[in-house]
Amino acid sequence: MIYDIGIIGGGASGLTAALTAARQDASVFILEKEKAAGKKLLATGNGRCNFSNLTIRRENIGEMVRETGAYRTGSSETAMITVLSAFDSSDAAAMMEALGLSFHARGDYLYPRSDQAAAVADALRWAVAEHKKADVFCHETAEKVSREKGLFQVTAAGGRRFSCRQLILACGSPAGLKKEKMTNGMDLAGMLGLKTRPLYPALCPLKCSEAFLSRLAGVRTAAAVSLYIDDHFAAADRGEVQLTAYGLSGIPVFQVSRYASLALAEGRPVTAHLDLVPEMGQKDLKAHLAEVIGRHPGHSMPMILGGILNRKLADVITDLAAISKEQKAGSLDPEGLGRVVKIMKKMRFHVTGTGDLTQAQVCTGGVLLDEIDPQDMSVRRIPGLYVTGEMLDVDGICGGFNLQWAWATGSLAGRAAGRRSHDQS
């Protein structure tokens, strides 16, 4: 059988593309390597599926991208903004309602009303299954793609061949997958001659070289994270940071990790600074500590700091400031207190690496946007070929931004491919 449209990958963008195309009466197949389509959706939003963000509004998307760094691309920022402007958070919300899903917001984050990612995956799968011309083949890994005599030929791992007039590459990325399940959509893109950027982990932990980290494993603390590359400021975020035996983790660390991945790949030095008391300026913090010491001059410095920070952190900071744990805080000179305050406001970590792809939520890199028409996600040089979702050289921060990119690109590609199939029939 020759299908109108073939889709490699049954993730968020692939299912969206399939549903959008099938609604235009196109015959569609999805090849999905997992036992069920949409499986990767189950892990999004800690299992609750933070499917979009209210800040993604078409009227100010360019300004939002430039001011917040919510999205990054190594190719065409203009193309990225064009895509996001065509399908924004209101469209994502409307899509959920059309699937029969109510939703609610926590701040700017949008979630299904049930707070279950499975509800979103199920709704998409069921909606696709309702169309008689849509077939989903699971446990099928695409190993080879080619274009022959106006048709795309896809060969699966077991040798099974699929033919289609149009092809949508929605393979996702290897981020978050077990090593034995990783497939690289960039290999398929290369078979079709597409230009790509290397994939590196993003939204992942940072590995650091400080020996004292072994003493801080398991500590969680509110902090502001600032990342520096070549001693120049690169990015920052704020929230709960998790300290581990190997480095730093937590959402604010994830948000800046993409820049560390790229810099480390280029051999550039990367450092991370933690402001452990971001709600107070340096002078106010020093005055506050001096006041506490004045009330409790017989306490040790770890005891004083324990009123603000986790006790493990208090002990490490005292050591880093070269203060004896037995010394009474009331006898501490101004220089000693200044050292403590400086460390609390700018605790320095030398970043030596990032978590690997199994620990990453997304990748940075992929098919260059310069290859793509952002109006419909089609490859400019190859009629009938489209690329969507994480396969593209775009990555967003936590907060629904990556799923929004998947919905937008999948919708545009499915709409265009379905329309083209209808016109050709």
Model pLDDT for residues 233-291, shown as the tens digit of each residue: 999 999 999 999 999 999 999 999 999 999 999 999 999 999 999 999 999 999 999 99
Q: Which CATH number do you get for residue 391?
A: 3.50.50.60
Q: For 156-181, what is the mean pLDDT?
A: 87
pLDDT higher than threshold 80 for residue 364? yes
Q: For 333-341, what is the mean pLDDT?
A: 96
Whether 138 and 251 map to the same domain: the answer is: no
CA distance 347 to 415: 50
Domain boundary among 328, 355, 382: 355
**What pLDDT is recorded for position 117?**
96
- Categorize the per-residue pLDDT at 174 as very low, low, confident or very high, splitting at 50, 70 and 90: confident
pLDDT higher than threshold 90 for residue 178? no
**What pLDDT is recorded for position 357?**
87
Taking the model in full, what pTM does it have?
A: 0.94
pLDDT higher than threshold 80 for residue 182? no
104-162 pLDDT per residue, tens: 999 999 999 999 999 999 999 999 999 999 999 999 999 999 998 889 999 999 899 99
Whether 158 and 239 map to the same domain: the answer is: no
CA distance 336 to 351: 27
pLDDT higher than threshold 60 for residue 49? yes
Whether 37 and 160 map to the same domain: the answer is: yes
Angle of helix 401-424 relative to helix 12-22, nearest 10 degrees, comes to 30
Share the mean pLDDT of the chain.
95
More confident residue, 175 or 108: 108
Q: For 12-36, what is the mean pLDDT?
A: 96
Q: Are strands 220-229 and 270-275 parallel, antiparallel or unpaired?
A: antiparallel
Whether 298 and 325 map to the same domain: the answer is: yes
Domain boundary among 332, 355, 378: 355
Whether 376 and 345 map to the same domain: the answer is: no
Closest CA to 1 of 125, 147, 154: 154
Alpha helices in 193-269 (DSSP H): 251-265
Whether 173 and 241 map to the same domain: the answer is: no
Q: Is the dihedral of CA 412, 414, 415, 416 positive or negative?
A: positive
Closest CA to 366 of 211, 202, 153: 202
Residue whose pair of structure tokens reads 């030398």 in the numeric block: 350
Q: For 388-405, what is the mean pLDDT?
A: 96
- Residue ranges making up the domain that contains 57: 2-202+363-424
Domain boundary among 298, 331, 355: 355
Question: Residue 145 corresponds to which tokens in the numbers above?
Answer: 């793609």
Whether 132 and 155 map to the same domain: the answer is: yes
DSSP conformation letters of 386-413: EE-GGGBSEEE-TTTHHHHHHHHHHHHH
**What pLDDT is recorded for position 425?**
64
Q: List, in order, residues 6 or more apart from 256 with CB less than 8 Å away.
A: 225, 226, 227, 234, 235, 236, 237, 272
Whether 408 and 367 map to the same domain: the answer is: yes
Whether 149 and 7 map to the same domain: the answer is: yes
CA distance 37 to 375: 26
Domain count for the chain = 2
Whether 367 and 351 map to the same domain: the answer is: no
* DSSP reduced 3-state for 30: strand
CA distance 122 to 295: 60
* DSSP reduced 3-state for 171: coil
The answer to whether 221 touches 313, Cβ cutoff 8 Å, is: yes
Q: Provide, rounded to the nearest whole percent, the portion of the chain with pLDDT above 90.
A: 91
Whether 254 and 179 map to the same domain: the answer is: no
CA distance 93 to 104: 9
Whether 349 and 385 map to the same domain: the answer is: no
pLDDT higher than threshold 80 for residue 370? yes
